[in-house]
Amino acid sequence: MFNQTVAFRGYLTNRQDRIDSEKTKEVQTNNLYNEKTFYHALVNDMLSAKKEIIIYSPFVSKFRTDFFKSTIEKLRHRNVEIFIFTRPTSEYDSLFQPQIECALKRYEDQGVNIFYLEGSIHEKLAIIDREILWEGSLNILSQRTSREMMRRTKNDDSAVQVMSYLGLNKKLAEGYKLMYEKLYRSLKIDKQQNIKSKTRTFLLGFSIAIFAWWIFLCFGGMIPLLRILKLFM
């Protein structure tokens, strides 16, 4: 009887181990995406971002610029900061450089912060709020027809580790500093323009008042004034 109980417990333990193993495999499989399923999942993560999105993509293309256009507009409307790390246009074939420059300018016009990394970078990843990490073989900002694989990991330790490995913290700090400096200069210019505008308005109003008083004296005010003076003469 004792042996049967021990054997049954062993059976239950092995069965639970198999169940846990299958669940682990299922979770791992669910975290893997191909070129067909990746973008839908990535955009969902991007739209759920609260503060920051980092995209590390060696190449860009006009096709993907058009694809991300509406998503970036929604994010920037909510003041979510977007940082793109990519190769400079000089590392592209001269035939494609005008198209690449146009694509990058469109990102900049939308308020995206772009860092150019020389040295033939090849890493591909995206980090959402420093909590969700996407990494794999797919060039996020240029892929179109190639077969690829990406893995999604929701783990802030993994995201921070990758950022540290690539040296992104220093570059992001510089990016945020530059953004705030631009914002400060913009606010300062707006304040100066506002002061100048108010000054011009005041001077214009004052000039009109003086001119109106002068007209009054010349054409209407002199007659009553002369009558008053005659009373004291």
Predicted confidence at residue 174, as pLDDT, reads: 83
**86 close to 60: Cβ distance less than 8 angstroms:** yes
7, 35: one domain: no
68, 50: one domain: yes
Domains held by the chain: number: 3
Predicted confidence at residue 27, as pLDDT, reads: 41
- As a whole number, the mean pLDDT across the chain is 81
**Residue 72 token pair:** 């970036």
157, 97: one domain: yes
Report d(CA 218, CA 216) in Å as an integer: 6
Does the pLDDT value for residue 98 go beyond 90?
Answer: yes
**Residue 89 token pair:** 């246009």
* Residue numbers of the domain that contains 41: 31-166
Amino acid letter for position 231: L
**Residue 209 token pair:** 């008042």
104, 196: one domain: no
73, 52: one domain: yes
Report d(CA 119, CA 125) in Å as an integer: 17
Gyration radius (Cα) of the chain, Å: 33
**75 close to 49: Cβ distance less than 8 angstroms:** yes
Which of 29, 179, 70 minimizes the C-alpha distance to 115?
A: 179
141, 57: one domain: yes
CA 67-171-178 angle, to 5 degrees, is 85
In a domain, 77, yes or no: yes
pLDDT tens sequence across 199-221 = 666 666 666 666 555 555 565 55
pLDDT tens sequence across 133-167 = 999 999 999 999 999 999 999 998 999 999 999 99
